[in-house]
């Protein structure tokens, strides 16, 4: 992964970022290497590895470009894994191998304009008509939205049952009545695609319901238990990248006749960054190892995501500070990390929501 990121990603990072260009060819290459389906069994076309390997891959990609990290994370943990967790054999066979090989790019649509943290209040509807479900509504902020060949979409099938009235559906690109909407112009992770998904009387076969009717929200939360580990890894990679840049620069930059790394104020920043990154890595690996052991990780996933994302924001901030004025310009990587990391405290549940999840788990026990 490290070699691949250095060779295939690093030379293009700023060009993709400036242009908001989705690195489609690179994503396809990752598919050929088996990296778009790391956590799925070989029988389904996956790489047959576990979460520990998966978070290592996401960290290495994100250390160079968080945009590639989030593309792979949303594709794997949210879209493909929701299918893996809730799909029937036919659905798994049909979609997982295509997603794992990179033939298909996957998206996952839960968030709506009026339903973010409170995702259970979604308003996108699916109405049964004969042998079909007809979807109407809009999903917003969907990673890979405009490039996805298949999207897992959560919609209301029973308005009276609140979170137990939500169901998941598989919607393929080109389905009549389905189109990507506005592509967001973002602060960071600009090479990743964040788009609306619009459904206007979009009829899908009844066989495209994913999981049981009414289980869409519960299955989405199960997918997020894995997804949050990948956002922890995304955070970790960017924190490490920001730290690496700061360490290197501190040894090169001379002021008052010596490298700035000789000033204790800079050394303490580096020491704090390295220590917190290590702690974030251990929390992330713990959650990944527990997942590999088949344990429930709701609390540990949220702890890893909360801590790693907050550490990443702090490290990116300190990296800019260590670079001084050069941290503010685009010739050095610190500026991009500073913009990119902020998503990590927001996506797949904000830091406030992670605390809420952790507290609920603590109070349950
Ligand atoms: C780049 C990007 C990619 C994304 N990718 C996807 C994707 O692929 N699929 C998808 O479904 N979604 C995706 N999202 C959406 C993301 O998960 C939501 O933005 C996030 O969950 C927050 O929802 P919101 O933006 O509506 O904020 P809101 O829920 O409106 O929150 C606003 C503020 O209020 C706080 N708040 C809300 N409720 C509470 C509470 N109960 N207690 C304390 N504070 C609270 C929040 O923490 C936050 O600070 C993406 C978002 C971005 C920016």
Percent of the chain with pLDDT over 70: 100
Residue 259 phi, psi (nearest 5): -60, 145
Partners of 154 in the beta sheet? Answer: 168
Residue 152 · residue 169 · CB < 8 Å: yes
The residue whose CA has the least distance to atom 24 of ligand 1 is 116
Confidence band (pLDDT; 50, 70, 90) for 317?
very high
Distance from the CA of 109 to the center of ligand 1, in angstroms?
13
The greatest distance separating any two alpha carbons of the chain, rounded to the nearest whole angstrom, comes to 79
Burial-class residue 262 by CB neighbours within 10 Å (0-12, 13-18, 19+).
middle
H/E element holding 323? helix 298-323
The residue to mutate among 346, 354, 356, having the most atoms of ligand 1 within 8 angstroms of its beta carbon, is 346
The set of residues, in sequence order, having a beta carbon less than 8 Å from that of 120 and lying 6+ positions away, is 162, 163, 166, 217
Helix (H) or strand (E) holding 363: helix 351-364
How would you write 2-65 as a 3-class SS string? Answer: HHHHHHHHHHHHHHHHHHCCCCHHHHHHHHHCCCCCCCCCHHHCCCCCCHHHHHHHHHHHHHHC
What are the pLDDT digits (tens) for 283-309? 999 999 999 999 999 999 999 999 999
Residue 365 has pLDDT above 90, yes or no: no
Buried (b) or exposed (e) across 329-363, using 16+ Cβ within 10 A? eeebbbbbbbbbbbbbbbbbbebebbeebbeeeee
Other CB atoms within a 10 A radius of the CB of residue 266 amount to: 20
Can you tell me the distance from the alpha carbon of 79 to that of 73, in angstroms, rounded to the nearest whole number? 9
Cβ proximity of 303 and 286 under 8 Å: no
Helix (H) or strand (E) holding 201, with range, is strand 194-205
pLDDT at 139 over 90: yes
Q: Is the pTM of this model over 0.95?
A: yes
- pLDDT above 90 (res 142): yes
- Whether the CB-CB separation of 149 and 24 falls below 8 Å is answered with no
DSSP H or E run through 132? strand 132-143
pLDDT average, residue stretch 90-113: 98
**What integer best gives the mean pLDDT of the chain?**
98
Taking the centre of ligand 1 as the mean of its atom positions, its distance from the CA of residue 147, in whole angstroms, is 22
Q: Locate tokens 């994913």: which residue?
A: 210
> Which atom of ligand 1 approaches the CA of 349 most closely?
21
The CA 268 to ligand 1 mean position distance, Å, reads: 33
> In the predicted model, what is the mean pLDDT of residues 138-144?
98
> For residues 129 and 122, is the Cβ–Cβ distance under 8 A?
no
In the predicted model, what is the mean pLDDT of residues 339-355? 98
Please list the residues that pair with 234 across neighbouring strands.
none
d(CA 27, CA 150): 15
pLDDT of residue 56: 98
Phi and psi at residue 93, in whole multiples of 5°?
A: -60, -40
Assigned token pair, 350: 């904000």
CB burial of 78-111 (b: ≥16 within 10 Å; e: otherwise) equals bbbbbbbbbbeeebbebbbbbbbbbebbbbbbbb
Is residue 350 scored above 90 in pLDDT? yes
For the residues 308-313, what does the mean pLDDT come to? 99
pLDDT score, position 52: 98
Q: How many CB atoms lie within 10 A of CB 313?
A: 22
> How far is ligand 1, taken at its centre, from the CA of residue 347, in Å?
6
Q: Which residues sit with their C-beta closer than 6 Å to ligand 1? A: 74, 108-111, 116-117, 141-143, 189, 194, 343, 346-350, 352-353, 356
Give the pLDDT confidence score for residue 100 in this predicted structure. 98
Mean pLDDT of the 49-70 span: 98
The C-alpha atoms of residue 56 and residue 154 are separated, in whole angstroms, by 29
- Ligand 1 centroid – CA 117 distance (Å): 5
Is residue 40 within 8 A of residue 48, CB to CB? The reply is yes
Model confidence over 161-205: pLDDT tens digits? 999 999 999 999 999 999 999 999 999 999 999 999 999 999 999
Average pLDDT over residues 354-359: 98
Q: Is the pLDDT of residue 36 over 90?
A: yes
Task: For residue 274, name the pLDDT band (cuts at 50, 70, 90).
Answer: very high
Alpha-carbon distance 221 to 233, whole Å? 19
238 falls in which pLDDT band (50, 70, 90)? Answer: very high
Ligand 1 nearest-atom number relative to CA 356: 42
Q: Whose CA is nearest to atom 29 of ligand 1?
A: 117
> For a pLDDT cut of 90, what percent of the chain falls above it?
100
| Closest-lying ligand 1 atom to the alpha carbon of residue 109 | 11
**Active site residue ranges:** 348
Count of beta carbons in the 10 Å neighbourhood of residue 287:
30
């Amino acid at each position: 992964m490290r070699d691949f990121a250095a060779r295939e990603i690093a030379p293009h990072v700023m060009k993709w970022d400036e242009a908001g260009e989705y690195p489609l060819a690179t994503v396809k290459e990752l598919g050929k290497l088996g990296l778009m389906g790391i956590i799925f069994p070989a029988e389904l076309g996956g790489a047959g590895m576990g979460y520990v390997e998966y978070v290592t891959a996401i960290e290495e990609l994100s250390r160079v470009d968080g945009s590639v990290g989030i593309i792979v994370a949303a594709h794997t943990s949210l879209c493909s894994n929701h299918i893996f967790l809730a799909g029937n054999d036919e659905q798994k066979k049909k979609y997982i191998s295509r997603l794992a090989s990179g033939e298909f790019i996957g998206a996952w649509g839960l968030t709506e304009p009026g339903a973010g943290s409170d995702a259970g209040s979604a308003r996108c509807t699916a109405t049964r008509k004969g042998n079909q479900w007809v979807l109407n509504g809009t999903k917003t902020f969907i990673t890979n939205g405009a490039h996805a060949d298949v999207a897992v979409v959560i919609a209301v099938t029973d308005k009276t049952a609140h979170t137990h009235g939500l169901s998941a559906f598989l919607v393929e690109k080109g389905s009549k009545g389905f189109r990507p909407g506005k592509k967001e112009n973002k602060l960071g992770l600009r090479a990743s695609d964040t788009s609306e998904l619009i459904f206007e009387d979009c009829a899908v076969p009844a066989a495209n319901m994913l999981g049981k009717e009414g289980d869409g929200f519960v299955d989405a939360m199960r997918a997020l238990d894995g997804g949050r580990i990948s956002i922890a890894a995304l955070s970790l990679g960017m924190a490490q990248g920001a730290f690496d840049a700061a360490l290197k620069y501190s040894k090169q930059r001379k002021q008052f006749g010596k490298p700035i790394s000789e000033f204790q104020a800079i050394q303490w920043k580096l020491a704090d960054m390295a220590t917190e990154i290590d702690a974030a890595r251990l929390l992330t690996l713990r959650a990944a190892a527990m997942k590999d052991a088949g344990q429930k990780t709701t609390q540990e996933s949220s702890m890893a995501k909360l801590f790693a994302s907050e550490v990443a924001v702090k490290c990116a901030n300190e990296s800019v500070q260590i670079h001084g004025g050069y941290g503010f310009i685009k010739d050095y990587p610190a500026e991009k990390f500073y913009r990119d990391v902020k998503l990590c405290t927001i996506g797949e549940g904000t830091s406030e929501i992670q605390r809420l999840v952790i507290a609920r788990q603590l109070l349950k026990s």
